Amino acid sequence: MARLVLFNKPYGVLSQFTDDGARATLADFVAVPGVYPAGRLDRDSEGLLLLTDDGRLQARIADPRFKLPKTYLAQVEGEADEAQLEQLRRGVMLKDGMTLPAQAERIAPPDLWPRDPPVRYRKSVPDCWIRLTLREGRNRQVRRMTAAVGLPTLRLVRWQIGEWTLDDLPVGAWREEAVTS
């Protein structure tokens, strides 16, 4: 039986257990021996990170060939309009090529934990929230996609990977789920 840990990664935490500097890592939060991240989440992104002790499960989660959907909630600068959302749905040309089409919709601001530090609020610049579901995992892809359509990302929270979701998992907390790989 494989072990699977769902972790709600806070902003500023590295998706690894060690660091040469004094930055926060998974070791500061997850006290489960023998598990490793299945994929990555940037230091300045928050939300769901899966860890497992099973190499095949890790590959199934992280390998783009399996195209496991990943859903993100993104607070973006500007008011997302239908044309921008449609660009995201069709795919966006980035420096490393065209992205696969994404599911994209504007959503009401989600009820999330406060970010530390908070997103800088600017009275003169509106913002909104969008939900994006991708089936590939390029480096900083959501941020690059939203910027390419004129909506720079201010806050990024990964909410779901495949069937696994944050649900009511508090920031900085983890829970273990049984899976068969």
Low-confidence ranges of the chain (pLDDT < 70): 180-181
- Tokens at residue 137, please? 């995992």
pLDDT for 181 = 54
The residues, ordered by sequence, that sit 6+ positions from 72 with a Cβ below 8 Å of its Cβ are: 47, 131, 132, 133, 134, 142, 156, 157, 158, 159
pLDDT for 131 = 98
For the annotated catalytic residues, the residue numbers are 42
In the 8-state DSSP scheme, what is residue 178?
E
- Tokens at residue 1, please? 């039986």
Sorted by where each starts, the structural domains of the chain and their CATH numbers stand as 2-64+164-179 (3.30.70.580), 69-161 (3.30.70.1560)
pLDDT for 120 = 83
Q: In 38-140, which ranges are continuous DSSP H helix?
A: 55-62, 82-90
Per the listing, tokens 């660009």 go with 87
Q: In 69-173, which ranges are continuous DSSP H helix?
A: 82-90, 141-148
pLDDT for 180 = 67
Q: Is the dihedral of CA 87, 88, 91, 94 positive or negative?
A: positive
Is residue 127 helix, strand or coil? strand
pLDDT for 13 = 96
Element (H, E) at 107: strand 103-107
pLDDT for 71 = 97
Global pTM reads 0.94
